[in-house]
Amino acid sequence: AEGGLAGRAAGSGELGCAEGCAEGCAEQGCAERCDEGRSRLRRLRITNDGGASADDDDDGADLYIRVLPTKLALVRLAPAMLQASTHTLVHRLLFGGSEGGSALWSYAHIDDDISLMVEEEALDDFPEGAIVGSYAQWRPLRLCGKAFGFDATGVVCAMYAPYEQGLPLLNISTYSTNISLIEEEDLGRAIASFDLPVLRPSEDEDDAGSGLSDGGEA
């Protein structure tokens, strides 16, 4: 998903010299134009018609990034324990988090690899021996300020700044939104890397739950 969205947005013309820069382009001013283009891409290249946005710097003025209060763990589920974990997985699918509210989680099963992204407290709901290995703590970030259609381009690119600073970055895309994930220990550096305003949760929100609802904005 990341390559598709980023590629479609970058290929619209304004960043036409980006590939040349990657090859050591010597054109005068090329690097400066690429840096400016990437910055504007993160701010403006989010459209609902499959193309580039207009050259209007106010298009991205209302966009901001929200750090969700949820703390997530990326873990592996032992394939031999999948059947024993069915009740936990189905309960989470149907009823959400432990308090019955909305919950951010992901299940991916490819060949013999089963990966879960779940709230830390949910790990205790799985049978003993189901969760394999240790895990890092991840924080989800969400691009807000407008509703994004399924064919919107540039959404992932708008969240790409931490990766450009050498920070690990994961993305989970759904039909109508995208969640970027940053390791907890890198959260401060990630926030500082964005051109857009960043809204952090209060301490009370951090303790309260997932906070996924955002008035219909992706």
pLDDT of residue 2: 36
Is 151 in contact with 49 (CB distance < 8 Å)? yes
pLDDT of residue 192: 94
- 20 burial level (CB within 10 Å; 0-12, 13-18, 19+): middle
CA–CA distances in Å: residue 3 to residues 73, 102, 157:
24, 29, 9
CA–CA–CA angle 47, 33, 56 (5° rounding): 35
pLDDT of residue 35: 57
Q: Which residues pair with 153 in a beta bridge?
A: 47
Q: Is 21 helix (H, G, I), strand (E, B) or coil?
A: helix
Is 163 in contact with 169 (CB distance < 8 Å)? yes
> Using CA atoms, how far apart are residues 174 and 29, in angstroms rounded to an integer?
38
Task: Provide the greatest CA pair distance for the chain.
Answer: 63
The dihedrals phi and psi of 192, each to the nearest 5 degrees, come to -65, -20
CA–CA distances in Å: residue 175 to residues 142, 165, 179, 200:
14, 28, 11, 25
The dihedrals phi and psi of 159, each to the nearest 5 degrees, come to -105, 15
Query: What is the DSSP secondary-structure string of 152-171?
Result: -BSHHHHT-HHHHTT---EE
> Using CA atoms, how far apart are residues 16 and 80, in angstroms rounded to an integer?
50
pLDDT of residue 147: 80
Is 59 in contact with 152 (CB distance < 8 Å)? no
pLDDT tens for the chain, residues 1 to 218: 333 333 333 333 333 333 334 444 445 555 555 555 555 545 544 544 444 343 444 455 588 999 998 899 999 999 999 999 999 999 888 887 655 556 788 899 999 899 999 998 889 999 999 999 878 899 999 988 888 877 888 888 888 899 999 999 998 887 777 889 999 999 999 999 998 899 998 765 555 554 454 434 44
CA dihedral 163, 39, 215, 117 (to 10 degrees): -10
pLDDT of residue 145: 86
The H or E element spanning position 180 is strand 178-183
